[in-house]
């Protein structure tokens, strides 16, 4: 049984006081759940206060990015050890906005993913096709490349703990959600590829999250699909009310 993960990607929103209020609002609503993991991923500047505010709850902390070196002259970057030190369990790697605006590639995603494991962080590796790629029937080719180049090279022990987020780029922040059938088709394909790279038993344990305009109104149906093991939520994770409803999709 794969334990569902509901993760909130706050992107570049929430200063420290707003982060405190949001985490407290979540802790009081969904902070005691233990049959699913509830993860919040604030901007770097709000990680510490989020960690403090979630103490005593089951909420978990994640970062939105990291660099693959431990330390050094890398102005503006954040090391994995710094994230661990601040209380992070998870780190999002290769979000499509990082790929689109900050030049991340499958090769950098792979370096970061491996380094995250070595540093004791669990990576949430994002993949997904653009609208142009979907319209030219390249979805599966793109997904296969992103998985083979971005998410390979782990030991079986590490791979079991990998989290993949399928986020069709055309569904992010657009209000256009993939239908549950479209999402399930992609998730099933991703699991098949993971089975080829690692082993079927390993792939069965890997959690694959859906992301892209997840809202309280569509979360139940999406989460009900066989190969969808949770969600990576942007916009709807910025308010305690809406994110809590997504977290409790089946309750
Ligand atoms: P969205 O973002 O829920 O606002 O579409 C999802 C994401 O980018 O992770």
127 Cβ partners below 8 Å, 6+ apart? 94, 143, 146, 147, 150, 151, 164, 165, 166, 167, 190
The domains of the chain are located at: 5-247
Buried b / exposed e along 65-78 (16+ C-beta atoms within 10 A): bbbbeeeeeeeeeb
Residue with the nearest Cα to atom 1 of ligand 1? 234
CB-based pocket (< 6 A), ligand 1: 9, 167, 172-173, 211-214, 232-236
**Separation of 101 CA from ligand 1 center, angstroms?**
15
How far apart CA 56 and CA 53 sit, in angstroms, is 9
pLDDT at site 164: 98
Best of 168, 208, 235 for a ligand 1 pocket test (most atoms within 8 Å of beta carbon): 235
pLDDT at site 8: 98
pLDDT digits (tens, 9 = 90+) for 72-97: 999 999 999 999 999 999 999 999 99
How far apart CA 7 and CA 9 sit, in angstroms, is 6
**Fold exhibited by the domain 5-247:** TIM Barrel (3.20.20)
pLDDT at site 213: 95
168 Cβ partners below 8 Å, 6+ apart? 128, 129, 134, 178, 182, 186, 212
* pLDDT tens-place values along the chain, 251 residues long: 899 999 999 999 999 999 999 999 999 999 999 999 999 999 999 999 999 999 999 999 999 999 999 999 999 999 999 999 999 999 999 999 999 999 999 999 999 999 999 999 999 999 999 999 999 999 999 999 999 999 999 999 999 999 999 999 999 989 888 999 999 999 999 999 999 999 999 999 999 999 999 999 999 999 999 999 999 999 999 999 999 999 999 99
**Separation of 148 CA from ligand 1 center, angstroms?**
24
Listed residue (156, 165, 70) closest to 111, CA to CA: 70
Atom of ligand 1 nearest to the CA of 233: 3
pTM: 0.97
């Amino acid at each position: 049984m794969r334990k569902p993960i509901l993760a909130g990607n706050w992107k570049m929103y929430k200063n420290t006081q707003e982060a405190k209020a949001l985490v407290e609002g979540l802790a009081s609503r969904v902070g005691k759940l233990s049959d699913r993991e509830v993860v919040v991923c604030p901007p770097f500047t709000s990680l510490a206060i989020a960690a403090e505010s979630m103490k005593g709850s089951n909420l978990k902390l994640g970062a939105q990015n990291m660099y693959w070196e431990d330390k050094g002259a890398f102005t503006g970057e954040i090391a994995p050890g710094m994230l661990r030190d601040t209380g992070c369990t998870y780190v999002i790697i290769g979000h499509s906005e990082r790929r689109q605006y900050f030049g991340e590639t499958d090769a950098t995603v792979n370096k970061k993913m491996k380094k995250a494991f070595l540093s004791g962080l669990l990576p949430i590796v994002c993949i997904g096709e653009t609208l142009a790629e979907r319209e030219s029937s390249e979805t599966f080719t793109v997904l296969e490349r992103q998985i083979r180049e971005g998410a390979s090279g782990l030991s079986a022990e590490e791979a079991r703990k990998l989290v993949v987020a399928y986020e069709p780029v055309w569904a992010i922040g657009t209000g256009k959600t993939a239908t549950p059938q479209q999402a399930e088709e992609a998730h099933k394909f991703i699991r098949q590829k993971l089975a080829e790279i690692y082993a079927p038993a390993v792939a069965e344990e890997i959690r694959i999250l859906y992301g892209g305009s997840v809202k309280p109104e569509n979360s139940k149906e999406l989460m009900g699909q066989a190969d969808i093991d949770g969600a990576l939520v942007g916009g709807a994770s910025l308010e305690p009310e809406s994110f809590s409803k997504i977290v409790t999709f089946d309750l």
